[in-house]
Chain A
Amino acid sequence: MPSPLAVEVRALSKTYEVHERPPGLAAALRSVFRRTYKTVHAVTDLSFTVEPGERVGFLGPNGAGKTTTLKMLSGLLHPTSGEARVAGYVPRKREAGFLKKITLVMGQKQQLLWDLPPADTFTMNRAIYEVSDADFAETMAELNELLSLGEIMKKPTRQLSLGERMKCELAAALLHRPQVLFLDEPTIGLDVAMQLTVREFIRRYNERRGATVLLTSHYMDDVASLCPRVVVIDQGRLRYDGDLPSLVRSIRPDKRVALRFSGTADRAAIERAGKIVEFDAARAVIQVAQVDLREAVGHLLGLAWVSDLTIEDPPLEEVMRDLFSASKAAAAEEAAGA
């Protein structure tokens, strides 16, 4: 009975041996004859499951192990230990059936043939994935509609802009209608409009086809707008698995209150409501604990020179930074204690 889960990961780990290269000529010469190796624990003891059709965002600082995880799930890397199952298959075996069901898009690398139009890459992928003519026509029509590819398919890839290339890259990756999408920083380097386009596309593709989406990104907006569920990986370990609002609340239970003034502001009066984060002649932002919010807002609204007031969550970037520095401190403690 095939597993109903799209992705199943248990105690997954990956370690590398990396040769240390200290600087300087003497060290370089020595390394010709004797090398010292360092063990890097890229991923340690990762466990989670993903239901079909879910959209999950992977967050974490650089080098956290997010890309390594995606590569293990797509069969590119063999795990050092632990188990993984994707769409019922063991990724490591790289069976044809498995490879036809998944796709991996890497924002910083491309599979499009550089000197030829994307259309030629599509033709090649069609032959490799054995996509029938009928299916191909239908899929291309849909992708064309969602991505508005138009004529750019016919220009050599090297002549396309970064955004156009990404669109064609997505098309090439999806023309075999995979059920599980691994997206590694798909919006990196794109302008804001293109980021929105890509996000919209991913959402609609997921809704229309029920494809499972595992996404990593440094842009919090990607994750916030696309992924109801967030997995935080830091230093190779799972730190959090759940929805984003809960995560934010657990790290920064404070809210931010933004004020606009008409007339001179009394700084002391504002300070009574909460901690000042920003303050200038026209506006201020203060941080208020959730519990004190009602009282603070009431007090602020009573001030005559406050013309506007909004309540916001703290910026995601700051929340993440807090999360990662906390876990770094925790890891340092562990290391010191060990």
Chain B
Amino acid sequence: MMLRYLRLLAVELRISLVLGMQYRWNFVIDGLVSLLWTVLGLVPLYVAFHARPEIAGWTYATALIVVGWFSLLKGILDGAINPSLLTVVDQIRQGTLDFVLLKPADAQFLVSTAKFEPWKVLNGLAALIIFTHAFRLLGRTPSALQVLASLGLLACATLVLYSIWILVIAAAFWVVRLDNLAYLFNSVFDFARWPVTVFRGALRLVFTFVIPLGVMTTYPAEALLGTLSLRTGLLSMAGALTFALVSRAVWTRAIGRYTSASS
């Protein structure tokens, strides 16, 4: 069964690539946007941290690592999660989601693999450059264990991000017009470039538990820096898994209640 879904994934990827080649302008502009975003996004960080006292225990160099993870995660979000899930919102509005539900394959899988934007892989490259620069400033390199731990947390982060999106899409079954929800989500997600401990009080709680930006970028950064406690790491993984299960349950219920658009 795994094999079958892997084969399906390959087919969907190929189709996205072919589609991407068709709209060359979008390709180029996408690449440009990613690049600009990464570079310009460093400016607020620079203003806040450079040649200034520590903020909540973070310096310019260590904060850069958070930005690196942000860049990577944004690449995953914009390249693998957003495109397909936005397609779903469109399909719900036009009523063509029916065809997805008629197929003998898991609807959540089909919906999540409908579209990819392979150009966003560049974000990963940007992340690597940022990491290199940051560690050069720190004058050391991360250990293999730290890299491994951070990759584990990256997996958690991706899972959490994906689950949040599935919850958002499930909401689209009730409330039809949601394109601006993607915009809201991206606006909020933008704050993940900052270490979560900079936020105080209620906002920090929100960003740790409700929209866990902390899990997404700060914890992988701490793992890479070797400052993440084992307890936090394990809790994050447990939290990510729970989140994924909850979102799956909500999705299944949403499908159950789905009423397709009028014929």
Contacts and interface: CB of A to CB of B under 8 A. Distances in A.
A71 B15 contact: no
Interface in A108-125: 108-111, 113, 115-116, 120, 123-125
Nearest to B22: A115
> Interface majority SS on A: helix, strand, loop or mixed?
mixed
B11 A71 contact: no
Contact of A128 (B96, B104, B260): B104
A16 B259 contact: yes
Contacts of A154: none
> Interface majority SS on B: helix, strand, loop or mixed?
helix
Contacts of B22: 115-116
Interface string A61-104: 00000010001001111100000000000000010111110111
B8 interface: yes
A185 B18 CA distance: 32
B101 A111 contact: no
Contacts of B30: none
Q: Which of B15, B19, B101, B104 has the most CB of A within 10 A?
A: B104
Contact of A77 (B7, B94, B104, B259): B259
A101 B198 CA distance: 57
Q: Which of A74, A110, A124 has the most CB of B within 10 A?
A: A124
B8 A128 contact: yes
Given A67-B263, A78-B256, A120 B98 contact: no
Contact of A130 (B4, B19, B102): B4
Measured as residues with beta carbon below 8 angstroms from the partner, the interface class of chain B is 20 to 34
Contacts of B258: 76-77
Nearest to A70: B263
A129 B4 CA distance: 10
A71 B94 CA distance: 16
B15 A116 contact: yes
Contacts of B103: 99, 125, 128-129
Given A67-B263, A124-B12, A110 B96 contact: yes
Given A104-B98, A115-B22, A77 B260 contact: yes
A128 to B, nearest CB: 5
A103 B102 CA distance: 8
A111 B99 contact: yes
Interface residues of A, number: 35
B98 A71 contact: yes
Interface string A232-249: 000000000000000000
A94 B18 contact: no
Contacts of A103: 102
B206 interface: no
Contacts of B263: 67, 106, 108, 184-185
Interface in B65-112: 94-96, 98-99, 101-105, 110
A281 interface: no
B27 to A, nearest CB: 14
A185 B256 CA distance: 25
A127 interface: yes
Given A120-B18, A124-B11, A130-B4, A75 B102 contact: yes
A102 B104 CA distance: 10
A10 B107 CA distance: 28
Contacts of B4: 130
Nearest to A78: B256
Nearest to B107: A94
Interface of B: 4, 7-8, 11-12, 15, 18-19, 22-23, 94-96, 98-99, 101-105, 110, 256-260, 263
Interface of A: 16, 67, 71, 74-78, 94, 96-100, 102-104, 106, 108-111, 113, 115-116, 120, 123-125, 127-130, 184-185
Q: Return the 9 tightest CB-CB contacts between A and B, nearest first.
A: A99-B104, A111-B99, A67-B263, A96-B104, A127-B11, A100-B104, A128-B103, A128-B105, A109-B96
Given A97-B104, A106-B98, A106-B263, 7 more contacts: A67-B263, A76-B260, A110-B96, A111-B96, A115-B22, A127-B7, A129-B104
12 contacts: A75-B102, A76-B258, A94-B101, A99-B102, A99-B104, A104-B99, A108-B263, A116-B18, A116-B19, A127-B7, A127-B8, A184-B263
